[in-house]
Structure 1
Amino acid sequence: MKTATTLTRRILLCALCAPAAVLAQAPAWPARPLKLVVPYPPGGLTDVLARLVSQKASEQLGQPIVVENRPGASTIVGAEQVARAAPDGYTLLMAATTTLTTNPLLFKKLPYKPTDFTPVALVGTVPFALVVSPSVPAKDLREFVAYAKAHPDQMTFSTSGQGASSHLVGEMFKAATQTQLRDIPYKGSAAALTAVLSGEVSATFDGLTNYLPYARDGKLKILAMFSEQRVPAADAIPTLLESGYPDAVAYSWFGVVAPVGTPATVVNRLNQAFNTGLRSPTLNDRLRTDATSGPILSPEAYGEFMRSQAQLWEKVITPLNLNLTP
């Protein structure tokens, strides 16, 4: 009887020790390099920001973060890849306005849903801007609106296609200012930029960063920003909000997300690493130069930010009755 009792105690002791032994053998996270998928071609602002912040975050994590460009189909190709990845924190997505706030409203059939992702960290926001050709006889926003109203349907703006940010922001501007501008679609943002540079169209709407160099050289005029307040990189440019258009506030945003189901401990570790990198003085200086800013957010606050952005764009997109296919 004594022998049986001793054996039972040994079995129970082994059972209690087993989980501890398994945990002791599990490698600490992260145990290998991470991958950050950028759903845009190399060289653009999203790609540049991804590489800058990844370098800083990798210093905190003790593992490299490899940036992989997977452009295509309005960021759908890269987003689908990450949505289907294992939720272990090793595969991340550099999401943007298009990926998670406008695509779900524009395309009835997407291979992913916003709920397929877990928010990790907001990287930055860039205000959209009203950019006009030097040939347009308007030196400020007030004159531009007056001229547009005096010449209905004669004013045009270039877009990089139906449903693109340049198109949607233009529609927001039209609704806010009660003007009639005709959108002219081009194949890509480069062609849309060339059109306004050459005077082929009157204006365009896009992220402020893309047009600052041309404005500084006098090749374009930036008349207003769609931000709540002026930005240090272009503090001479007024906002539409301060000019009396409260419904014309919109940003292009960039942020890191992970596949849904990624453990909260991993998400919080990633958030801390990226946010610490964003506080770096060298990275801060670069972001300000590119007119990029944004609050340092927790994963929960970042998720709330994305939901608010979806609500904003829903008000713009729904009246347009767009039904796009990827």
Structure 2
Amino acid sequence: MKLFRSTILFATSILALAVTPLHAQTTSNYPDKPIKIVVPYAPGGFTDILARLLSQKLSDQLKQPVIVENKPGASTIIGAESVARAKPDGYTLLMAVTTTLSSNPHLFSKLPYKLADFKPVALAGLTPFVLVANPSVPANNVQELVSYAQTHPGKLSTATLGNGSSTHLVLSMFRSATDVNIIDVPYRGASLALSDLVAGHVDLFFDALSTSLPHLQAGRLKAIALASEERQETAPSVPTFHESGTPEMLAYSWYGLLAPAGTPDHIVEILNKTVNEALASPEIQERFRAEGAEARMISSQAFGELIEAHSKTWGDIITALNIKLD
């Protein structure tokens, strides 16, 4: 009987060694191989630049290569779906943007992913929208612009990136807040829109501050107002819509890392802590300021709440406009 009991105990110990360490090995040693960040855009844009800035910092801190892989197309859907279907082990991450989870779920009824397919990891940054104008526009602030638009209905034109795009939604927000009649001119890309704006073929554009900033600094465009709570260090002379009398005009593009649903909590905590440490570095802070972006160090839970808050904002506008892209 003693021999039988000893055999059972020995077998149980062997089973524990065979199972428990295997699970521990997959999580407690994290990371022990390269990490991949999927960017759902082509190389060269702000999302890609941000991912590459973070990848270097994360690689230095985690002592593992952090590789950026670009998977552009279909309004970020291709890249997002690939991560949603990836193994939830912390080695495949998505550099998501507002489009991915705050507007796409309201625009596409057959979206191949949902918010529940992801686990928020860390907010990387926020870029406020700025209303920029060609220098020929006879208005230098919100009040003058609204007055001109109301006395010249249909005279002003605004570039957007098409029906349901963030630029179109911010324009809709502005129309609702000010009751102005401004013509919407859709473009296939921000670079084309900005080129035509600089050339004077359109009058206005709601752009991310990060991409308009070089044109503002060079005097090729002028800024009407920022859709942020506070003025920005990189453009201190540009007032906010809030201080210009339209406080409902708050609109940001957010950028952040997401993991597949089911990724262990302690891996998310490691990544969140590491990203926040990277964002706090003087190098990243300086680069963010130069790009007109805000670095905010928050918890993964707070990031999830931010995604949901932005989803409600854009969802309400999309529902009111009855926009569907499929």
- The superposition leaves residues 156-210 of structure 1 with CA deviations (integer Å, 9 ceiling, x where unpaired) of 1011111111111111111112211111111211111112111111101010111
Question: Residue 307 of structure 1 corresponds to which residue in structure 2?
Answer: 308
Which range is displaced more, 9-18 or 279-288? 9-18
Q: Is the 8 A contact 2:122 2:303 kept in 1?
A: yes
CA drift at 1:139:
2.0
Amino acid in structure 1 at the alignment position of 2:275: F
Question: Residue 250 of structure 1 corresponds to which residue in structure 2?
Answer: 251
Matches for 1:281-300 after TM superposition, within 5 Å: 281-300=282-301
Query: SS of the residue aligned with 1:146?
Result: helix
Where does the alignment leave 5 or more consecutive residues of structure 2 unmatched? none
CA drift at 1:62:
1.5
Q: Is the 8 A contact 2:140 2:223 kept in 1?
A: no
CA drift at 1:24:
4.2
Q: Is the 8 A contact 1:120 1:270 kept in 2?
A: yes
Say what the alpha-carbon RMSD is for the aligned residues: 1.4
Q: Which runs of 4+ in 1 moved over 3 A?
A: 20-25
TM-score (norm 2): 0.95
Question: Residue 58 of structure 2 corresponds to which residue in structure 1?
Answer: 57
Distance 1:149 1:91 in 2: 50
Amino acid in structure 2 at the alignment position of 1:9: S
Matches for 1:182-261 after TM superposition, within 5 Å: 182-261=183-262
Query: SS of the residue aligned with 2:248?
Result: coil
Distance 1:20 1:305 in 2: 42
Distance 1:15 1:197 in 2: 74
Query: SS of the residue aligned with 1:67?
Result: strand
CA drift at 1:273:
1.3
- The superposition leaves residues 49-95 of structure 1 with CA deviations (integer Å, 9 ceiling, x where unpaired) of 00101111122222111000110011111001111111111111000
Matches for 1:1-326 after TM superposition, within 5 Å: 4-16=1-13, 18-20=15-17, 22-24=19-21, 26=25, 28-325=29-326
Number of residue pairs the alignment of both structures matches: 322
Q: Is the 8 A contact 2:288 2:295 kept in 1?
A: no
Which range is displaced more, 20-29 or 202-211? 20-29
Query: SS of the residue aligned with 2:234?
Result: helix
Distance 2:227 2:287 in 1: 21
Distance 1:150 1:115 in 2: 47
Distance 2:188 2:240 in 1: 29
Amino acid in structure 2 at the alignment position of 1:130: L
Q: Is the 8 A contact 2:285 2:295 kept in 1?
A: no
- The superposition leaves residues 242-271 of structure 1 with CA deviations (integer Å, 9 ceiling, x where unpaired) of 111121001011000001111111111111
Distance 2:295 2:56 in 1: 19
Query: SS of the residue aligned with 1:243?
Result: coil
Amino acid in structure 2 at the alignment position of 1:290: E
CA drift at 1:141:
2.1
CA drift at 1:30:
1.4
